[in-house]
């Protein structure tokens, strides 16, 4: 009985435990299902939020792209505006007015501008800006002189022209003028050569110092280092300034010779326009010159006084030379009219004809006769005599053309200078031209003129009796033919006592190194020609000299003139 009760209690206890465990399991299972449901609901909500965020992000990305495009457009517009403002600020007030008229409303009357006559300039805004510009910004002077220069196949006269213009100016006159040299060539190499030529010919010793460094790679670039006197400006324009010329004549001219001639004249007109536009703001008067001239002494003050002494301001041109476009003075205020007229017809006629047409338009009456017209034009075009400038070039800038124009009103110039030299016999290997002999030059009666020298040619002065010489001076070229100079030519002496002179003068220092170069035939080299002049002192240790000689070392491209010979005896 007791066992049976124990078994019952045990079964009852296990049943209670199972019931409790089942209830716990059921409760646990119910609670686990609720947690899963919660997580599922939260995951679904999170996925919904992520989808919404992704949609919002795409929307914001599109908006940011639109904003970025607007920023890029604004930056581009600002850059264009900056470039326009830079170009606009570089233009004159008159050009700005014309451009405004062109771009204004169709209801406003429009005036023509330089871009109407030269539309190719619109393709590049730098077309009217100098590609090379050397100068110090001087303005407010009385006279601006313009000198256009182009390549000549045989000989360049530019440095001689500048030398003549500058040496005839007093210090006060230099402070009241500007000389603008326009290298009117499209070739970079020739432009650089001209800059170097100006330096080499020693004009910089008084006025300028220019160094050109050329770097050659795929294209030619210029690194220009310079210091200039304020009197001189050097310009070179962009090649795009001339773009339309070749195309125009290749299309419209079929004969090659005519094409070259008209293209040459057309480019010349554009050169004058560029030079006048640049020079207009720098002075009261503008004088047009050429690169192959010489000037009379006191030419600057003469021109200035003649302009100031005119009884009225009605004049348009004052002429200081009767040749071509040399020595023509204009009021700077009139240059705008002249340039505008030239641009309208620059392809049709040369500049001297166009100037005559301007005056005809201004004062001539079609109902009057030609004499009346000439009288009226004489009030606008006033001639000064004698001429202040002479044309000296014979080789034209037009290839193959020889031009021997001379201004008869220029007057006689001193073409030589004589001195009392020691008695001597003079001989030369050069071929004398006409009556311009070496004997006359040594006696001071005329200048010596000879045909083109070659290497080995000489001029020898052999004294009748040995003489002590203190100094020597030789000048080649003259005012009418400044380019006929001696180049690469040395000055040599032959001492009477060669042995003693060699001991005294050919050795110096402890090492006894040679002081002078001795030639194979016994002459001693003591100097050389620079820019057409040779001068110096003779070493006293040479003692009396038997002879003096000029030796030409290389072939020369030009004839030679010896316009001054001075041999000063020692006291």
Q: So what's the pLDDT on residue 86? A: 65
Residue 239's closest CA among 214, 267, 264, 211?
Answer: 267
CB 476 within 8 Å of CB 552: no
| Strand 560-569 to 232-237 pairing | unpaired
| Sequence-ordered list of residues with C-beta below 8 angstroms from that of 36, at least 6 positions apart, any chain | none
Q: Quick check: 308 pLDDT over 80?
A: yes
- Phi first, then psi, for residue 412 (nearest 5°) are -70, 135
Average pLDDT of the segment spanning 88-115: 60
Burial track 316-336 (b if 16+ CB lie within 10 A, e otherwise)? bbbbbbbbbbbbbbbbbebbe
Q: So what's the pLDDT on residue 205? A: 39
| Strand 232-237 to 177-183 pairing | parallel
Tell me the C-alpha distance between 414 and 420, whole Å.
17
pTM given for the model: 0.51
Residue that has been written with the tokens 């590049």 in this structure: 124
Tell me the C-alpha distance between 133 and 11, whole Å.
122
pLDDT of 338-387, one tens digit each?
A: 998 988 888 888 888 899 999 999 999 988 888 889 889 888 998 887 88
Q: Highest mean pLDDT: which of 148-162, 199-213, 215-229?
A: 148-162
Instruction: Please report, for residues 167, 304, 435, the alpha-carbon distance to residue 301 in angstroms, rounded to integers and kept in the order given.
Output: 14, 5, 37
Residue 160's closest CA among 111, 102, 220, 203?
Answer: 203
Q: Highest mean pLDDT: which of 19-33, 191-205, 445-459?
A: 445-459
pLDDT of 278-299, one tens digit each?
A: 889 899 999 999 988 889 888 9
Structural tokens at position 108: 């406003």
DSSP class of residue 425 equals: E
DSSP string, 326-373: SSEEEEGGGHHHHHHHHHHHTTTS-HHHHHHHHHHHHH--TTS-HHHH
Q: How many CA atoms lie within 13 A of 19 on its CB side?
A: 6
Sign of the dihedral defined by the CA atoms of residues 255, 260, 265, 270, in that order:
positive
Tell me the C-alpha distance between 544 and 525, whole Å.
16
Average pLDDT of the segment spanning 132-140: 76
pLDDT of 406-434, one tens digit each?
A: 666 666 556 778 788 999 999 999 999 99
DSSP class of residue 530 equals: B
Name the average pLDDT for the chain: 77
Tell me the C-alpha distance between 276 and 290, whole Å.
13
């Amino acid at each position: 009985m007791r066992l049976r009760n124990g078994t019952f209690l045990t079964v009852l206890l296990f049943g209670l435990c199972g019931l409790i465990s089942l209830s716990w399991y059921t409760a646990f299972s119910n609670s686990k299902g609720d947690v899963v449901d919660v997580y599922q609901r939260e995951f679904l909500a999170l996925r919904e939020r992520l989808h919404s965020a992704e949609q919002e992000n795409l929307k914001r990305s599109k908006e940011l792209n639109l904003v970025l495009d607007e920023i890029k457009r604004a930056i581009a517009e600002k850059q264009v505006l900056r470039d326009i403002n830079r170009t606009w600020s570089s233009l004159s007030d008159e050009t700005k007015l014309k451009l405004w008229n062109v771009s204004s409303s169709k209801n406003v009357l429009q005036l023509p501008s330089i871009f109407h006559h030269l539309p190719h300039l619109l393709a590049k805004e730098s077309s009217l800006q100098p590609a090379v510009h050397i100068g110090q910004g001087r303005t407010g002077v009385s006279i601006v002189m313009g000198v256009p220069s182009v390549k000549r196949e045989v000989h360049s006269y530019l440095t001689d022209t500048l030398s003549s213009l500058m040496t005839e100016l007093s210090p006060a006159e230099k402070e009241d003028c500007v000389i603008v040299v326009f290298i009117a060539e499209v070739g970079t190499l020739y432009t650089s050569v001209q800059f170097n030529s100006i330096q080499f010919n020693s004009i910089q010793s008084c006025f300028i110092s220019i160094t050109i460094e050329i770097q050659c790679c795929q294209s030619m670039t210029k690194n220009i280092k310079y210091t200039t006197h304020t009197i001189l400006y050097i310009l070179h324009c962009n090649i795009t300034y001339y773009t339309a010329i070749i195309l125009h004549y290749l299309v419209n001219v079929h004969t090659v010779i005519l094409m070259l001639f008209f293209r040459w004249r057309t480019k010349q007109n554009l050169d004058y326009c560029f030079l006048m536009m640049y020079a207009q703001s720098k002075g009261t008067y503008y004088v047009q010159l050429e690169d192959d001239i010489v000037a009379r002494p006191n030419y600057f003050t003469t021109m200035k006084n003649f302009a100031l002494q005119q009884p009225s301001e009605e004049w348009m041109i004052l002429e200081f030379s009767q040749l071509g476009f040399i020595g023509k003075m204009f009021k700077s205020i009139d240059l705008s009219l002249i340039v505008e007229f030239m641009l309208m017809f620059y392809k049709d006629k040369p500049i001297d004809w166009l100037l005559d047409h301007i005056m005809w338009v201004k004062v001539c009456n079609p109902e009057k006769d030609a004499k009346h017209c000439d009288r009226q034009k004489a009030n606008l075009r006033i001639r000064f005599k004698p001429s202040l400038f002479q044309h000296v070039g014979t080789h034209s800038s037009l290839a193959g053309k020889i031009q021997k124009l001379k201004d008869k009103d220029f007057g006689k110039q001193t073409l030589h200078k004589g001195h009392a030299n020691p008695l001597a016999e003079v001989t030369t290997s050069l071929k004398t031209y006409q009556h311009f002999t070496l004997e006359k030059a040594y006696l001071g009666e005329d200048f010596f003129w000879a045909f083109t020298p070659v290497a080995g040619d000489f001029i020898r002065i052999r004294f009748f009796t040995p003489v002590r010489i203190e100094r020597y001076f030789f000048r080649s070229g003259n005012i009418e033919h400044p380019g006929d100079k001696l180049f690469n030519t040395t000055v040599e002496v032959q001492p009477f006592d060669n042995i003693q002179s060699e001991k005294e003068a050919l050795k110096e220092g402890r090492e006894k190194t040679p002081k002078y170069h001795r030639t194979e035939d016994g002459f001693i080299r003591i100097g050389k020609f620079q820019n057409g002049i040779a001068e110096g002192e003779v070493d006293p240790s040479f003692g009396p000299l038997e002879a003096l000689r000029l030796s030409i070392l290389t072939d020369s491209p030009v004839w030679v003139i010896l316009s001054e010979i001075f041999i000063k005896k020692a006291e």
